[in-house]
A and B are shown apart, each in its own frame.
Chain A
Amino acid sequence: MENILLRDKVAELEGYFAAGGYRALKKALAMPPAAVIEEVKKSGLRGRGGAGFPAGLKWSFIPKDAPGPRYLVCNADEGEPGTFKDRELILKNPHALIEGMAIAGHAIGAASGYIYIRGEFVAETIKLEKTIAAARAKGFLGRNILGTGTDFELHVHRGAGAYICGEETALLESLEGFKGQPRLKPPFPAVKGLFASPTVINNVETLAAVPAIIERGGDWYAAIGSGKSTGTKLFCVSGPVNEPGVYELPLGVTFKELLEKSCGGLKEGKRLKAVIPGGSSTPVLTAEEAWLVKLDYESLAAAGSMLGSGAVIVIDDGQCMVKLLQVLARFYHHESCGQCTPCREGCGWLEKLLNKLESGRGTKKDIDTIVSVAENMMGRTICPLADAMAMPAISFVKKFRSEFEAHAAGHCCPPEAPVKH
C-alpha cells in the first residue's frame, strides 16, 4: 500500500503543497474542535512513542472550560535505543508534522505549541525551524491562520542529552528549564501540564498521521492495520539485516515479512537468535517467538512483549546475550534520573551484577539476583524507566538462561575484535 508518512518529494513546502498538503488544515479549521477530535478517535490512532494510548481520547481529556492557555507539545526526544523514525520523518516529511500540530492545536484549543527535539539532532532542528518559517510565511502558522481567526504559534526547543526526557512529564520539566525528572501523576498533563496549564503531548509520528486522517477520514485510517491497531507504523530495523532502516507498513505485518520483504533478510551467514520488537525497553523475543509474530499492539502484548516505539532490534547468534544486557544496563544506569530509590539504586546494581558475569567473576546466584532485583524495581517508581530496565533484564535471563549460566561457569565471550571491513 501507499505510504502515508514516509513519502518522497514532500520535504519542502512546494512538494508538500503539490501533493495536497495543508488541505487537511483548511478542512479542520472549518470543523468544530470536537468534530476534529471525534474524527481522530474514529481513526483509532494510538500514540506512536511507545505507550500506545489512543490519541483522540488523550485530546479529549483537556478540560473544556479550563481558563488560561493550553499547550500542544510534540515529543521528538527520540532516544529509545533502536528508534530512529522521528528523525527520518522530520527530514523527509516535516510539513506533515507541522500541519498535524496545527490541526491538533485547533482541536484542543491550544494557541501555542513546542516541538521538544533531542539535543543531538541539530540538522533536524534546523530543518524544523526552516519548515516552520516556510509554513508561517504561507499563513499556515502564526496569527489568524488562513484568515480563520485561529492562532497557533510553534517553537522548537532542543534538549540537552537525557533519555528520560522522552517521558512526557520529564519532557515538560525540561521544557520549563529544569532537570528532566518525571512528575508525580496525578495531576496529569491534560489538567496541569506545561507551565501548569492543560497540555497534550504527542509523538512526532502520531501528529504527522493526523493530516491524512482529517483529509481522508477516520474510517479510512481505521481500515488500515489490524483490529485495534489501526493505520501504518514506522518500523525501525537495526541489527545484522541487509537493509536496515525505517519502513512504513500497516500495523499487523509479521516480523517475517518485515525482515524478508522490506529489509532484504539477514546478512549472509547470520542466524536469527532474538528480536527486541519495540525498542530496548521491551521484552526480548526468541527467534521462534518472533518469526511469525504480528507487529501490532495486541499481538505483541499477547507474545509477552510490546510494540513500543516500533524499533525492531534484530539479534543474530553471533551476539552474546549477557553482553547485550550489560550494554543495556549500562545505558539505563546512565540514564536513570536518580529520583526514585528502586530505579536509582537498582539500575546500577544490575549493571554491576552483569559486569561481574561478563568478566567471569559472577555466580549462578548472581543470575537469580538479577531477576530478583529487576522484579523489585518493577512498577514501584514514578515513571517507567525502572520497568524499561527490568523488562529486558527479566526476559533476557528467562529466555537465554543457558548463556548466563555459561558465564557463571567461567565461559565468557571473547573480547571484541576491532572492526575491519
Chain B
Amino acid sequence: MPKITLDGKTLEVPAGTTVLEAAQAAGVYIPRYCYHPALSVSGNCRMCLVEVEKSPKLLTACSTQCAEGMVVSTASDKVKAARRDVLEFLLINHPLDCPICDQAGECGLQDYYMEYSRAQSRFSQEDKVLRQKRRALGPHLMLDNERCILCTRCVRFCSEVTKTAELEVMERADHSFIDLKAGKSLDNDYSLNIADLCPVGAWTSRDFRFKARVWFLKKAPTVCLGCATGCLAEAHHNEGEVFRLMPRPNAETNTWLCDRGRMTYKALRAGDRLTKGFIKNGLIDLEPALREAATRIDEAKGAAAVLGSPWLSVEDNAALALLAAAMKTEHFCFDFKFETGIKDGILINKDPSPNAAGAALVKAGKGGLGMEEFRARLNSGAIKLVVAEARAAALLKEELKASGARLIAFATNRADIPAGAYATLPYASYFEVPGTFINYQGLKRAVEPAVAAPEGVKPLWEVLNKLAAYSGASLRLDSAADAMKGMA
C-alpha cells in the first residue's frame, strides 16, 4: 500500500492505483479526455498532466502508478500552464460551432475552457484543418470529424467492449480522423454509448439531436426494463417529456446501456400509446371499458384466471394476486421461468423480461399455479377468461387462441396486444409511476417516475382496484405499496 502526497495531503492507496484514481478517491478532480475508467489507458490527450517531484517532465496522471513517497501536485503553475496549452492545441482546429452543437452544456472542451483557460485564440480561423462534417454512421449515431479531438475513446470502446472493432484512426498527424469501412454501418448493439463516451460533440445521438438543450434536462433514476439484466439508468426529461435514457454506471451490473434499452423510452410518445380502452377493435373510454371487462369476468366466474407478468413491477404483480383473491379464482399464476444470463458477454440478457424474479417473489407470498399447470388448464378449457398484462399474455397466445378463452389485457402500447384480445385496458408506464423490479442477479431496484402519465391513464394497481370495484369487490389499494401488505 504505497503512501503518496497529493497536493499536500497524504494518501495511502492500494498498489497499482494510478495517480488519477488516487486523486479521484481523494476528491481531487484531474481533467481528462482520453481516460475512461472502463477502457484501456491510452494517454494521448495529455490533459491530465501532473507534476511529480524528481520527475523532470510532467507525467500523465492516468498512466502513472502511485509509488511509495511520490509527491504529486495537481495544481501547480506548471500543471495549470500545461492544461491551458493542451486546451489551446485542442481548440485550434475545432470548429467552435457550440451554438449548433448538441454537446453544448456537457462538452469537455467548453467545461475545461471555462475552468482552465479562458484565453483568446492565437490561431487564425482560415488556417483550420477542415474535416468531414456530420454524417450518419449507423442507425443511432452521427459523426462530425471536425469536432473530434482524437481521444480514441470510441475506437477503444469498439475494440475492447463490443469487440466489433469497426472504428480506427486513419491517416496521421492533424489530418488523421476516425473512420470505419466505407459503406459499413456502425450498428453494434451498444453504439449509443459512443455518444456518451465522446467528450466532445463529434459523436452525437441521432435520436437526441436538436431535441433539447442539456441544461434544461432533469434526471430521474430509473432501471432499464429492456431485459432481466436490469441496468441502472437515468431518464433525462423536461416539461413532461423524456428525451433520452442514459446509463447510471454501477459496479453490480452496468457501465453501459444497450441501444435497444436506451430506446425503450420511445414507447411513451409512440403513436400507438394507449390512453383509452379497447374492446375488440374499438376504442372506448376507460370507465365503460372497465365495466365491460368486469362484466365478462363476473360471467366467467370460477373459470376466470389471472396471470402475473415478468414485465410488471413487484407491486403490480402483487395487486394482480389481490385481484385473483377478490375474484375467488384458483387459476392464477406468477410462475415465469426463463433461462437467464448475459448472452453477449456484455449486458443483454437471455431473459427478455425485467422481472421474472419479482413475479416469483409474489408467487412465494401468494402461491398460485405453476406455468405448466396453468397452460394445461387453459388447454383443457377449464379457464374461459384470462386477465393478464399484454406481453405475459403473448407468452400463451397459442393456448389462448386454441382454447378460445377471452383475454382481458393491460397494455401501454397497442403493439403489445396479442391478436384476438377481447378487451384491453391502458395503464401507466414505469417512466410515469414508481415500481420495484428484481433483476436476474436478485438485485431489487426501484424505478422512480420521470414524467406524468397521459391524461386519464392510471397506474396498473389503480386500474385493478377499479376493475375489482366494478365486480363488487374491493382491493383496498391507495398506492402501489399497499399491494405489498402481508407480503414478506
Direct contact of A and B (CB under 8 A): yes
Write out the residue numbers on chain A whose beta carbons fall within 8 Å of the beta carbon of B46: 340-342, 380-381
Cross-chain contact A341 with B89 (CB below 8 angstroms) = yes
Task: Say yes or no for B264: interface residue by CB 8 A criterion.
Answer: no
**In the complex, B488 has a CB within 8 A of chain A:** no
**Is A291's CB within 8 Å of the partner chain B?**
no
Most chain A CB atoms below 10 A, which of B45, B63, B82, B174: B174
- Expressed in whole angstroms, the minimum distance between the Cβ of A111 and any Cβ of chain B is 30
B91-135 at interface with A (beta carbon < 8 Å): 92-93, 122-123, 127, 129
Measured CB to CB, the nearest residue on chain B to A369 is B122
A342 lies within 8 A of B172 (CB): no
Interface flag for A223 (CB, 8 Å): no
A-contacting residues, B55-71, CB 8 Å: 56-58, 60, 63
Of all chain A residues, which has the CB nearest B81?
A376
| CB <8 Å contact, A342 and B89 | yes
Min Cβ gap A288→B in Å is 30
| Selected interface stretch from A39-47, A51-59, A345-353 | A345-353
- Contact of B86 with A by CB under 8 A: yes
Q: Which residues of A contact B169 (CB under 8 A)?
A: 179, 338
Q: Are A345 and B92 in contact (CB under 8 A)?
A: yes
In the complex, A320→B176 CA distance in Å? 31
Could you give, for residues 35-50 of chain B, a 1 whenever the CB lies within 8 Å of some chain A CB and a 0 otherwise? 0000001111111010
Please state if A338 and B58 are interface contacts (CB–CB under 8 Å): no
Distance (Å) between the CB of A50 and the closest chain B CB?
A: 18
**Chain B residue nearest to A365 in the complex (CB):** B122
Query: Is B90 interfacial (CB-CB < 8 Å)?
Result: yes
Task: Tell whether B171 is near chain A: CB-to-CB under 8 Å.
Answer: yes
Residue from the set B43, B44, B56 with the largest chain A CB neighbour count within 10 Å: B44
Q: Are A184 and B63 in contact (CB under 8 A)?
A: yes
The verdict on B173 contacting chain A, using a C-beta distance below 8 Å, is yes
Q: A184-B63, A379-B57, A382-B43 are in contact. Are A348 and B173 (CB under 8 A)?
A: yes
**Given A349-B123, A376-B89, do A341 and B45 touch, yes or no (CB 8 Å)?**
yes
Inter-subunit contact A346/B43 (CB<8 Å): no
Q: Which of B49, B88, B89, B173 lies in contact with A338, CB distance below 8 A?
A: B173
Contact between A333 and B44, CB atoms less than 8 A apart: no
Query: Cβ of A335 < 8 Å from any Cβ of B?
Result: yes
Contact across chains for A342 and B85 when beta carbons are under 8 A apart: yes
A344 touches which of B43, B60, B85, B174 (Cβ 8 Å): B174
Complex interface: chain B residues within 8 A of A337 (CB):
172-173
B150 close to A (CB within 8 Å): yes
Contact between chains at A344 and B176 (CB < 8 Å): yes
Instruction: Indicate whether B149 reaches chain A with its CB closer than 8 angstroms.
Output: yes
Contact yes or no, A341 B86, CB < 8 A: yes
Nearest CB in chain A: distance from B242 CB, A: 36
- Give the contacts of A339-376 with B (CB-CB under 8 A): 339-342, 344-349, 352, 369, 376
Given that A184-B43, A379-B58, A380-B46 are contacting pairs, would A347 and B174 also be in contact in the complex, using a CB cutoff of 8 Å? yes
Chain B residues near A380 (CB-CB < 8 A): 46, 49, 57-58, 82, 85-86
A169 interface residue per 8 A CB criterion: no
Q: Is the beta-carbon distance between B127 and A346 smaller than 8 angstroms?
A: no
Q: How far is the CA of A81 from the CA of B129 in the complex (A)?
A: 26
**Which bucket holds chain A's interface residue count?**
20 to 34
Contacts of B63 in A (CB 8 A): 184
CB < 8 Å neighbour of B172 from A336, A346, A352, A379: A336
* Chain A residues, Cβ within 8 Å of B150: 338-339, 341, 344
A334 within 8 A of B: yes
Q: Output the least CB separation between A383 and chain B (Å).
A: 11
A348:B129 contact, CB within 8 angstroms: yes
> Across the interface, which residues of B come within 8 angstroms of A333, CB to CB?
173-174
Chain B interface helix/strand/loop/mixed: loop
Within A115-163, the residues touching B (CB, 8 Å) are: 162
Contacting pair A376 B173 (CB below 8 A): no
Q: Which residue of B lies closest to A353 (CB)?
A: B127
Separation of A349 and B122 alpha carbons in the complex (Å): 10
Are the CB atoms of B88 and A344 closer together than 8 Å? no
Nearest CB of B to A397, in Å: 16
Q: Interface 1/0s, chain B 1-45, versus A by CB < 8 A?
A: 000000000000000000000000000000000000000011111
**Do B90 and A345 touch (CB < 8 A)?**
yes
List B139-197 residues whose CB lies under 8 Å from chain A. 149-150, 169, 171-174, 176
* A381 CB contacts on chain B under 8 angstroms: 46
A372 nearest in chain B by CB position: B122
Interchain CA distance A178-B123 in the complex, whole Å: 33
Hey, which chain A residues are within 8 Å of B174, CB to CB? 333, 336, 338, 344-345, 347-348
Looking at the complex, which one of A162, A334, A339, A349 makes contact with B92 (CB distance below 8 Å)?
Answer: A349
Interface residues of B in 406-454 (CB under 8 A from A): none
Compute how far the CA of A334 lies from the CA of B58 in the bound complex, rounded to whole angstroms: 26
Chain B residues near A338 (CB, 8 Å)? 150, 169, 171-174, 176
Complex contact B58–A341 (CB within 8 A): no
Residues of A within 8 A of B172 (CB): 162, 179, 335-338
Kindly provide the distance from the CB of A408 to the nearest chain B CB, expressed in whole angstroms: 15
Interface residues of A in 372-396 (CB under 8 A from B): 376, 379-382
Q: Are A340 and B57 closer than 8 Å at their CB atoms?
A: no
Residues of chain B from 274 to 316 with CB closer than 8 A to chain A in the complex: none
- Within 8 Å CB of B56, what residues of A? 379
Chain A residues with Cβ below 8 Å from B173 are 333-338, 344, 347-348
Are the CB atoms of A346 and B89 closer together than 8 Å? yes
Contacts of A346 in B (CB 8 A): 89
Chain B residue nearest in CB terms to A368: B122
B41: chain A residues at CB < 8 Å are 184
Contact present for A382 and B44 (CB under 8 Å): yes
Question: Shortest Cβ distance from B39 into chain A, in angstroms?
Answer: 14
Nearest Cβ on chain B to A342's Cβ, whole angstroms: 5
| Contact bitstring B461-487, A, C-beta under 8 A = 1, else 0 | 000000000000000000000000000
Q: Are B44 and A341 in contact (CB under 8 A)?
A: yes
Instruction: Bits for B70-86, please: 1 = Cβ < 8 Å to A, else 0.
Output: 00000000000010011
Shortest Cβ distance from residue B73 to the other chain A in the assembled complex, whole angstroms: 16
What separation, in Å, do the CA atoms of A186 and B389 have in the docked complex? 58
List, in ascending order, chain A residues with CB within 8 A of B122's CB.
Answer: 369
Is B44 a contact of A340 with CB atoms below 8 Å? yes
Residue of B nearest to A355 (CB): B127
Measured between C-beta atoms, what is the minimum distance from B127 to chain A in Å? 5
> When chains A and B are docked, how far (Å) is the Cα of A333 from the Cα of B172?
9
The CA of A349 and the CA of B149, in the complex, are separated in Å by: 15
Q: In whole angstroms, what is the CA distance A299 to B85 when docked?
A: 33
Query: Which residues of A have CB within 8 Å of B43?
Result: 184, 382
- How many angstroms from the CA of A340 to the CA of B44 in the assembled complex? 4
Give the CA-CA distance A349 to B173 in the complex, in Å: 11
Given contacts A336-B174, A338-B172, contact A352 B127 (CB under 8 A): yes
> Shortest CB–CB separation between residue A362 and chain B, in angstroms?
11
**In the docked arrangement, what's the CA distance between A339 and B60, Å?**
14
**Residues from 159 to 205 in A contacting B, C-beta threshold 8 Å:** 162, 179, 184
* Residue of A334, A336, A352, A369 most packed against chain B (CB within 10 A): A352
Residues in A with CB closer than 8 Å to B127 are 349, 352
Can you report 9 A-B residue pairs in the complex whose CB atoms are below 8 A from each other? A179-B169, A184-B43, A335-B172, A337-B172, A341-B89, A344-B89, A344-B174, A348-B129, A349-B127
Known: A345-B92, A345-B93, A382-B43. 11 other contacts (CB 8 A): A184-B41, A184-B63, A333-B174, A336-B172, A342-B46, A342-B89, A344-B150, A345-B174, A349-B89, A349-B123, A376-B88
